[in-house]
Structure 1
Amino acid sequence: MSEFTWLVPLPVVMPLFAAGLALALYRHPKAQRVTSVVALTLMVAAGVGLLFLADGGPVVVDVGGWAAPVGIDLVADRLSALMLTVSSTVMLCVLLYSLGQGISDGDEAAPVSIYHPTFLVLAAGVSNAFLAGDLFNLYVGFEILLAASYVLLTLGGTGERIRAGSIYVVVALLSSVLFLMAIALVYAATGTVNLAQLGQRLPEIDPAVQLVLQLLLLLAFGIKAAIFPLSAWLPDSYPTAPAPVTAVFAGLLTKVGVYAILRTQTLLFTDGRLDTVLMCLALATMVVGILGAVAQNDIKRLLSFTLVSHIGYMIFGISLATQAGLGASIFYVAHHITVQTTLFLVVGLVERRGGSTSLDRLGGLAKIAPGLAVLFFIPAMNLAGIPPMSGFLGKVGLLEAGIAVGTPLAYTVVVGSVVTSLLTLYAIVKAWNKAFWQTPPEDVPPATLPMTMVAPTAALVALGLLITVVSGPLYAYTDRAASTLMDSSSYIDAVLGTDGRGQGESTDVSDEEDSGPEVEQDGVTEGAAR
């Protein structure tokens, strides 16, 4: 399958190329829209291809022909391929939604010239973070996200958006500075930033130094993932942005931080010294986040707090450090990206139809717009974990993994998870009753919902249901991904080669004919994809 390795850099290269093209076409809005849609469609196709390709073992590409650990590697394994597929699909639907919104509002010429290149750069940053084979390239991915997300967050230039964007940028820059400090210290301690080589060298350095490096990286990633007590910035930053921007931020950006924690905890720091700390933070994130959601009377802020709360489930799975826990956490990440993005898009439709996102100023939408009620109800129940939906299946997997660990703290977090799920249901039902059942206000504006916005939202609702339908094969895939994470030797061998000195069988982006021999690992041809 070595002829398909060109798929690995495509999710990064394609949106960057399309961003430049879209910027050059700023006088031609229709051409910009076509360019963006085609680029993200190709990203989805590449993600699906990598999903199958990486199931046979990690696929490694040397950028510029410089082999690891000297050069930059892009690595697609089961985890990164799944994240790429889900994220690119979600971003395509959000883009289509935003196009429909622009056409419906009659402002298709502005701010399209800025929006499309920035959105594509954001997509490239997300892909680069998922595929990064070294810490510095991961940092570059985060910085691309920061630059693009600030522009998107402040589109429109209102005072409220500028204020929220300023808070977001200050917090993101603090996280980036911590991350850069951690990278510098990692290199000083080990002489490398390549993830595979770090997996070999970090266990050999002083344990106290290891702990400092781990704490710094967790602090940087914890801010980006909005883990309590580093999550206070999120509910104030996201709700002020336009609906499509809020949706893609809520669905994706925090998950990039979760992905970074998942990758480093399983590949670099395998001794489990901070698993107890992570478990405590997971419980605090769940409980504090959902208590904040229950107290909200604005549906955007309510969903922002549930976003924080459900990050705790993912961290819980990581903290268990078992194959079952990691597999359930990966499944829950894929589920939550889809459902959370869908709900924010639906809220955009609710605001358009009801004229507000305040629950006190909404009402009667079930009668006024029954289709909208269905679009909200399905992902809302999925988020709350109503059986047999994917939210329920993911939570059950996490609870079973926690019970299997059997420690008092694990049991405590299991109880906290159940309470959080019940409170999520309460918050969602409260929002449903106020927005869709209570008597509508007399000043509800007569508005219609354009199909150009409804159709992408309905597609995401269907995707959430599809995850439920294929939950068996998907769970099996995430379990295999967790197995690969638990045994990092396949990742290290794929990047560095069996001799550990450098990648002798990877594919050079500039010359795919230089691929070397295949390497057998546990009966699976790890080098076949290269």
Structure 2
Amino acid sequence: MVNPILLIIVPLGTAFLISLTASFLKNSTKYLALLAMIANVWVSIKLLPAVMQHPINVVIAGVKPPLGINLFVGPLGAVFSILISAAGLLILLYSFKYIEGDSQHKYYTLFLLLITGSHGMILTGDVFNLFVFFEILAISSYILVGYEGKRNGLEAAVKYLILGSIGSILILVAVALIYQEAGTLNMADLADKFGMIDPSKRLMILVFFITGMGVEAAVFPLNSWLPDAHSSAPSSISAMLSGFVIEVALIIIVKFVYSIFAMTEILGFLSLVAVITLLVGEFAAYKQSNIKRVLAYSSIGQIGLILFAMSLNSTDGLNAGLMQIINHTASKSILFLVAGFLIVRTGSYQISDYRGIAKKMPVSAFFFVVGVLSLLGVPPFFGFFSKLSVVMAALHTGSVFNTVMVFLVLLGTIIESIYFLRIIQIMYNREGDVGSVKEAPFLPLLAIAAFTVVILAGFLVLPQITGYTGSVASEIVRKMQMAQVF
């Protein structure tokens, strides 16, 4: 059996190795990063079938929980590990032709630290190490947003740092309160003991934890950092932030609310916050003329949709939310990665400057259209099945509140359709002329094509995908029911 700790040790160790060898390997350090990501994909794939049979618990340093540190890999950890590893590998390949200059080793070091933090948050079995891995993820994200050294990027990174630091403090306070009240930081042990804590203290812990993690998850009104960060960061990093970083933070919130805190009474409130997040994101995206700000606000809207599905207090809702995460990871990665070379080739972030660009960059334009159609939920793309699952899960609850929320979700989808179709119309305008613009290089297009295959062919393996996401949803609900017994 493959040890899941490799998902953390390999990228972390390679990040330090790149730092040590950068002086003589120079820009060849990217190949070390490539080997690390290939290894992570292999480990993730090997883990999935084993975990579906029986969860894996890895004890660190031989000291068993609740006193020791452990990694726990259930269906949730296995599915997200594949998502992080596969998306990370493709974005890394894209970066080979996108990231230039003598400081590439810094980029790849931080890239691997971001991967380390993402895996660690999903796999750790104790709350304090969740905070540690959260900090690894957050700090590497702050620096990568300002990687290009431009004024806008540095300002966005500082804004992200300030808001993120507030979030970190709130999470740390929640961790301290958990230890003070429950006497444990092990998640399984905490799930048994959390119900014994005074209700007012439980609520305080919940508010601090969700608010702190909600900053990274870009939930309204804690998401003001995201549009500036996405529009200023390298497009490869925007794809990572939107593709799985904010989703990791969101799934941690869901995991704690359902499985550890077992305080499902707040799900109605989270559902309302989710729909507000969706509408704010979509209406803000509609007003933008900068391609990356459109995609950034669109990501806020999509996070709202995912949170809405996962707040339905049902296995179907959790399953639909997980399917939507997969769709968003693939679709939004395509859009950000295509946008990266639209900007490189034209020298402009303004959508109006892409008039007629499909004539010069037909492959990129095609991929952009596919990403948009899946994000909108047009059949037969994978996004159709994920978005339909969200709507059906909400309607199956029989709640008038959820039915009203569905109409608001559909309103958001209409707004999303208007601004994305407007972009496509500009790109395919026959009268436009963008000059001597070249198509994106082969390797980035290959990486984008791999994401495209997921949403084009996803419906062909839909039973297998829903089988895995259904196992994750069942795991979360089962742990919630166990926690409520105590």
TM-score interval, smaller chain: over 0.9
56, 59, 73: which one aligns with 1:59: 56
1:393, 1:407 → 2: CA distance?
A: 22
TM-score, normalised on structure 2? 0.96
How far does residue 489 in structure 1 lie from its aligned partner after superposition?
Answer: 7.8
What's the counterpart of residue 87 of structure 2? 90
464, 474, 477: which one aligns with 2:468: 477
Q: What one-letter code is carried by the residue in structure 2 that aligns with 1:15? A: P
SS at 2:213's partner residue? helix
Determine if the alignment matches structure 1 residue 330 to structure 2 residue 322.
yes
Determine if the alignment matches structure 1 residue 68 to structure 2 residue 65.
yes
Question: Whose helix fraction is larger, Structure 1's or Structure 2's?
Answer: 2
What's the counterpart of residue 460 of structure 1? 451
1:359, 1:30 → 2: CA distance?
A: 33
How far does residue 337 in structure 1 lie from its aligned partner after superposition?
Answer: 1.5
TM-score, normalised on structure 1? 0.88
How far does residue 31 in structure 1 lie from its aligned partner after superposition?
Answer: 4.1
What's the counterpart of residue 26 of structure 2? 29
2:481, 2:471 → 1: CA distance?
A: 12
2:69, 2:482 → 1: CA distance?
A: 15
1:203, 1:346 → 2: CA distance?
A: 48
1:284, 1:184 → 2: CA distance?
A: 31
1:350, 1:17 → 2: CA distance?
A: 34
What's the counterpart of residue 19 of structure 1? 15
Structure 1, unpaired ranges of 5+: 493-499, 501-530
SS at 1:293's partner residue? helix
The within-5 A match list for 1:420-435 is 420-435=412-427
1:424, 1:352 → 2: CA distance?
A: 25
Determine if the alignment matches structure 1 residue 153 to structure 2 residue 145.
yes
SS at 1:270's partner residue? coil
151, 168, 189: which one aligns with 1:197: 189
How far does residue 445 in structure 1 lie from its aligned partner after superposition?
Answer: 4.4
Could you give the per-residue CA deviations for residues 68-114 of structure 1, whole angstroms, max 9, x where no partner exists?
11111111111111111011111111111111224xx6x3xx11121
2:54, 2:477 → 1: CA distance?
A: 14
SS at 1:488's partner residue? helix
Alignment size in residue pairs? 483
How far does residue 253 in structure 1 lie from its aligned partner after superposition?
Answer: 1.6
Distance 1:250 1:271, change over 3 A: closer
Q: What one-letter code is carried by the residue in structure 1 that aligns with 2:16? A: G
1:408, 1:213 → 2: CA distance?
A: 30
- Identity of aligned pairs, percent? 27
1:81, 1:309 → 2: CA distance?
A: 26
Q: What one-letter code is carried by the residue in structure 2 that aligns with 1:275? A: L
Q: What one-letter code is carried by the residue in structure 1 that aligns with 2:329? A: I
Could you give the per-residue CA deviations for residues 383-431 of structure 1, whole angstroms, max 9, x where no partner exists?
1111122211111111111111122211111111111122211121011
Between 1 and 2, higher relative CO (CA 8 Å, sep ≥ 6) is seen in 1
What's the counterpart of residue 372 of structure 1? 364
Contact 2:327 2:374 in 1 (8 A): no
Q: What one-letter code is carried by the residue in structure 2 that aligns with 1:150? A: Y
286, 306, 316: which one aligns with 1:294: 286
SS at 1:177's partner residue? helix
What's the counterpart of residue 186 of structure 1? 178
Contact 1:19 1:116 in 2 (8 A): yes
Q: What one-letter code is carried by the residue in structure 2 that aligns with 1:458? A: A
Contact 1:150 1:165 in 2 (8 A): yes
Q: CA RMSD in A?
A: 1.8
Contact 1:196 1:491 in 2 (8 A): no
1:11, 1:296 → 2: CA distance?
A: 38
Contact 1:101 1:452 in 2 (8 A): no
2:73, 2:382 → 1: CA distance?
A: 25
What's the counterpart of residue 225 of structure 1? 217
2:391, 2:471 → 1: CA distance?
A: 19
SS at 1:74's partner residue? strand
